[in-house]
A and B are shown apart, each in its own frame.
Chain A
Amino acid sequence: MAGYYDIDDILAEEELVPSVFQHDANGVGLFDSSDDTDKVIAGSRAELPFWLVRELYLRQLISIRVPPCFDRDSKTREEIGADAAHVDLKSRCAYFYTLGCKIAPLIGDKTIGPFLLVAFRTRYREVLIKAHTLSLSVAPKYLILLTNEEAKLYEAGQSSIVAFKKWRMGGPRFQMAPVLGRKRKPT
């Protein structure tokens, strides 16, 4: 499990999973604020964040549906199968791989793992090529397709290219501390 303080892990667990309550819950009013009985009845549907879903699902208090992007006969699977590198994954799930890895053992769907692997393998190649060759002006168009994990890889690839160029050209070895760099007005 990722670290307790891991920002990305925290944000990945914020992704919503469609779930159905299997049991009444008292004193929980916030899911549906129009209701003032302060109660959720069995059978109601809600999209719950993953951090809540895991514990409740293990106790069989809710049942869940696989998020649409992992679903066995969803459009996403077909698109990944057709041309993985150009699917806009970010808008479907910003932490596609992290959430996938968390949700697969929970629901015991054996097809999610290989699916993630195929998606990553094809997309990683593209990410690496683009990171090394794309000029800064075209990059934003491509970046919006990437999930947060891929964007990190992209940045890593780019910074290694920058470091390589710097090494080849030579240049100042001392630099101003990066914290002092931006003198933006505090908002």
Chain B
Amino acid sequence: MYGRKASELVKEFATSEPGQLSTFNNDLYSQVLEECEGHLLHLQPLMRKIQEHENELKDKRSSEDATEDSEDERRKTEAEKTIIQTALKSDQFGALVHHLSLVRNKRCLMAYVYNRAEVVRSLGWMVDNVLPEEIDEKLSSSEKEYFKNHVATLQSYMSELDLHLTVDTVPPKDPYIKVRVKEDIGEVALSDQVANLAQHAIMFLRRTDAEQYITQGQMEELTS
């Protein structure tokens, strides 16, 4: 059935959890593209045939106007015309089906790429400029490029404003919070101190300093 593969592609995106990415399905994606090529191959001869039929009809009409035929002959050309017209309509029908399938496939492919791009964009706000490996390998090469460029744009905008937009997305109650370090990070210069962020250390940090580590999963917030 036409358009089945394309809808599988969309379905695959729909079943993955919101905000999560699955590996870019190159295989299915190129299969859909192949199907599009196939539709085009079908479409072209049909279009040619439609053109031919139309020309024939035109010829018939002009010859009819020119000559005065007997009743019999006129009936004959009339019958021929109906046959051509039915054939014309069949070809148009076929062409329409292929055209619609092409449009449908295009929509599915676009939706797949667009919705993935949206997730990739949101990644730019959550993780700093480096993608973790397990996500990185799920992206296609153009998506990686897109992410890189998006992050670069974001960074340049923030440096222009001189404001860090990705921190404090939740309004703070207190400028300092208690955190536990989950992974060894090492000696880091924070905004108010130089701290050794060793694993399992419990520290009292500025929210703005801690936020990026927490979103990246290297620290967790402790509540008393």
Contact = CB atoms under 8 A, between A and B. Distances in A.
Interface stretch (B12-20, B76-84, B151-159): B12-20
A27 B214 contact: no
A186 B16 CA distance: 13
Interface string B101-131: 1001001101100110001000100110000
A30 B2 contact: yes
B194 interface: no
A167 interface: no
B132 A180 contact: yes
Given A10-B108, A61-B93, A186-B23, A177 B100 contact: no
Interface in A1-32: 4-8, 10-11, 14, 23-28, 30-31
B215 interface: yes
A51 B1 contact: no
A171 interface: yes
A61 B92 CA distance: 10
Contacts of A49: 1, 3, 7
Interface of B is mostly: helix
Contact of B221 (A6, A25, A174): A174
Contacts of A182: 20
A15 B33 CA distance: 22
Contacts of B91: 26-27
Contacts of A25: 90, 93-94, 97
A64 to B, nearest CB: 15
B134 A6 contact: no
Contacts of B195: none
Contact of B19 (A8, A31, A170, A178): A178
A176 interface: yes
B93 A179 contact: no
A156 B96 CA distance: 41
Contacts of B100: 51-52, 55-56
Contacts of A6: 111
Contacts of A174: 170, 177, 207, 210-211, 214-215, 221
